[in-house]
Structure 1
């Protein structure tokens, strides 16, 4: 899996990051996994045509001192479609900007 990893995060900063993710992402059935919705204007042509597969998201996984932002766009509605794919350049920029904005907003040191 391809991902953008931020590691060596202090415990107090991990608490801030978890709060940010609970507020700005969709929670999952796992406490350490979140989904961030991709804006429709960044969808690939195939993803845009697949209304039934929306929303499209990327995963954010957290560990004791790290946060991993997956560079894979998936649907929460089905696993049996051709539309999930690794990020395009614009989608990748969105994922990395989401991560970097969170770090800047929360003043997380790494």
Structure 2
């Protein structure tokens, strides 16, 4: 699995990051896992075509005691296997990594 990992975050900073994630209202299917929806304008043609039957499309953000990880796989909520599930395009990857980086910076976390 390809992913973007930020680790060695102290517990006070992790609490700030988790609070920020919760305020962003990211969907939380299970403890420690959040779904970041991929903006409609960043979806591939196939993902757009499948939006109604498979979507919404998201990337998973997992958090641990001292780390946060963004999986670089674009998944869909309604179906487990489909051609619209794929690794993020360069634009999707860059946008979502920037989102995570900005979320961390906004909390004055230095990593």
TM-score by length of 2: 0.94
Secondary structure of the 1:47 match is helix
Q: Give the C-alpha shift of residue 7 in structure 1.
A: 0.4
Secondary structure of the 1:69 match is strand
1:31-88: CA deviation from partner (whole Å, max 9, x where unpaired): 1000000111000110010121111000000111000011110001111311110000
Give the aligned length.
Answer: 109
TM-score by length of 1: 0.95
Structure 1: gaps of 5 or more residues: none
Q: Which consecutive segments of 4 or more residues in structure 1 shift more than 6 A?
A: none
CA RMSD, 1 decimal: 0.8
Counterpart mapping for 1:65-84 below 5 A: 65-84=66-85
Secondary structure of the 2:47 match is helix
